[in-house]
Amino acid sequence: MTYEETLEYIHTVNWQFCKPGLERIRELCKGLKNPEKSLKFIHVAGTNGKGSFCSMLSTVLTKAGYKTGLYTSPYIKCFNERMAINGEMISNDELVEITKKVKIVADKMEDKPTEFELVTAIALEYFKRNKCDYVVFECGLGGRLDSTNIVENVELSVITGISLDHTSILGNTISEIAKEKAGIIKDNIPCLWCGNNKEAKNVIEQTAKYRHSPLCFSDHSEIKIKETSLNGTTLDYKDFKNIKINLLGVYQPLNCANVLEAITILRKNGLKIDDKAVYDGMSSAAWHARFERILDTPLVIFDGAHNPEGILASVDSIKHYFGDKKVYVLTGVMKDKDYSFMARKISEASKKVFTITPDNPRALDAGEYCEVYKSLGIEAYSFSCVEDGLTFALREAQKDGYALFCLGSLYMYSQITDIIEKSFSI
């Protein structure tokens, strides 16, 4: 198999009609001699904030001298991003080699694994082969029946927060979704709850009590912002003073505090993480496509917020950094999202909106999305492709002296950054 054939094999697996459950991933891992059993994990679930949390924590553990695996989804520009060790993503050759091995097992299974199950198994084999000390393991969807929940040697379970998303799969209420996320809580293993929803908290407390899991909490009232700008934020959290993070967005101090709380728990459990590793790791952590500054002139910021809670946070961030000054917004969304609500929130901070149709079968038509903004009294323009919309929006932003925000879908990131790199030679 070539690298291209490997990706084709992974992506052509049909997952939509598979029954949820852990039976397939267990069978797949058993055929690989259970690579997960030789690894230690920090398992992370939640509706929003998982990626930033995982990036910061894995960087700190790497700075502390541990060989640290990181498993995240979805990828932004390159499939290999989904699994990395000490900040270096898997090589093409190793991905091909491991996928060949996994394919042999998968092809023999009567109930074929899903794409995510295949990728999870590949990642586990990758981390085992490279003898990782710890793996920061992000759930794909939910928790209880997510294929990442095959792991047993968990040092800490983390639930970053819970809101309504993927309701057709996880449930229509916060309690139902919380029950699925709480499925990652393990017997006698500490769990960190980072959210603020009381309904979700009740479910997680009940599950933790049943599992005899010590439940810990982030205390966001302990966050003291010392300085914040589009160059980053300096903050105090409990005994951690003058922590610098370069990740932007008003929600990143919350994610930072959650990571610092996790570090405190891991230290109590015996992990040696010195203060230098904490400061160096937090300041050097990067997480693409989340309120990321991708161009300075004109100022362009990309935020892949793709659900109502994410859009709320993004709009709050725009207001935080720009005050009463409006911005220009380039946006495209999936039609299965609450795009009417998202448009109302985005309109609060927008002077002009440029809608595009993301390159995805689930995408909402740009013309239909544009009409929503016009009905809200916003000057709006629609474009059938990303390149036309971005080219026009960039020209307007530069001419009028406005910042341009790209919001609504992670699927736009690769195209947008490629176009900007080509146009501005960065």
The CATH number of whichever domain residue 303 belongs to comes to: 3.90.190.20
Identify the residue with better confidence: 134 or 11: 134
Do 310 and 262 reside in the same domain of the chain?
Answer: no
Lowest pLDDT segment from 94-108, 313-327, 341-355, 409-423: 409-423
CATH for 89: 3.40.1190.10
Identify the residue with better confidence: 9 or 305: 9
Please report the pLDDT score of residue 425 as a whole number. Answer: 55
Of the candidates 258, 284, 310, which is a domain's last residue?
284
Show the domain range for 99.
3-284
Q: Is the pLDDT of residue 165 over 70?
A: no
Please report the pLDDT score of residue 166 as a whole number. Answer: 45
Q: Is the pLDDT of residue 142 over 90?
A: no
Show Cβ contacts of residue 296 under 8 Å, excluding neighbours closer than 6 positions. none
Helix/strand/coil for 296: coil
pTM: 0.90
Of the candidates 265, 284, 303, which is a domain's last residue?
284
Please report the pLDDT score of residue 319 as a whole number. Answer: 96
Contact 398, 64 (CB under 8 A): no
Do 51 and 191 reside in the same domain of the chain?
Answer: yes
Please report the pLDDT score of residue 243 as a whole number. Answer: 98
Do 215 and 341 reside in the same domain of the chain?
Answer: no
Span 66-70, average pLDDT: 98
- CB count in 10 Å sphere of residue 253: 21
Identify the residue with better confidence: 118 or 334: 118
Whole-number Å distance between alpha carbons of 188 and 365: 49
**Using one digit for the tens of pLDDT, what is the confidence trace for 270-300?**
999 999 999 999 999 999 999 999 999 999 9
Do 164 and 297 reside in the same domain of the chain?
Answer: no
Do 329 and 402 reside in the same domain of the chain?
Answer: yes
Do 238 and 327 reside in the same domain of the chain?
Answer: no
Burial class of residue 131, CB neighbours in 10 A (0-12, 13-18, 19+):
exposed
> If you average pLDDT over every residue of the chain, what do you get?
93
Of the candidates 234, 268, 284, which is a domain's last residue?
284
Whole-number Å distance between alpha carbons of 63 and 42: 16
Contact 422, 391 (CB under 8 A): no
Do 23 and 64 reside in the same domain of the chain?
Answer: yes
Q: Are strands 154-159 and 68-71 parallel, antiparallel or unpaired?
A: unpaired
Q: Is the pLDDT of residue 11 over 60?
A: yes
Do 115 and 250 reside in the same domain of the chain?
Answer: yes
Structure confidence at residue 17 as a pLDDT band (50, 70, 90):
low
Q: Is the pLDDT of residue 164 over 60?
A: no
Please report the pLDDT score of residue 359 as a whole number. Answer: 81
β-partners of residue 383 are: 356
Do 220 and 267 reside in the same domain of the chain?
Answer: yes
Span 57-71, average pLDDT: 98
Q: How many domains does the chain have?
A: 2
Lowest pLDDT segment from 18-22, 203-207, 224-228, 418-422: 18-22
Please report the pLDDT score of residue 233 as a whole number. Answer: 97
Q: Is the pLDDT of residue 120 over 80?
A: yes
Alpha-helical segments (H) within 23-78: 23-31, 50-63
Do 184 and 305 reside in the same domain of the chain?
Answer: no
Identify the residue with better confidence: 424 or 349: 349
**Using one digit for the tens of pLDDT, what is the confidence trace for 221-273?**
999 999 999 999 999 999 999 999 999 999 999 999 999 999 999 999 999 99
Span 315-337, average pLDDT: 94
- Distances 281 to 58, 86, 195, 248, 253 between C-alpha atoms, Å: 8, 11, 23, 16, 14
Q: Is the pLDDT of residue 168 over 80?
A: no
Please report the pLDDT score of residue 167 as a whole number. Answer: 43
Identify the residue with better confidence: 205 or 16: 205
**Using one digit for the tens of pLDDT, what is the confidence trace for 175-197?**
888 999 999 999 999 999 999 89
Do 200 and 338 reside in the same domain of the chain?
Answer: no
Do 115 and 186 reside in the same domain of the chain?
Answer: yes
Please report the pLDDT score of residue 411 as a whole number. Answer: 80
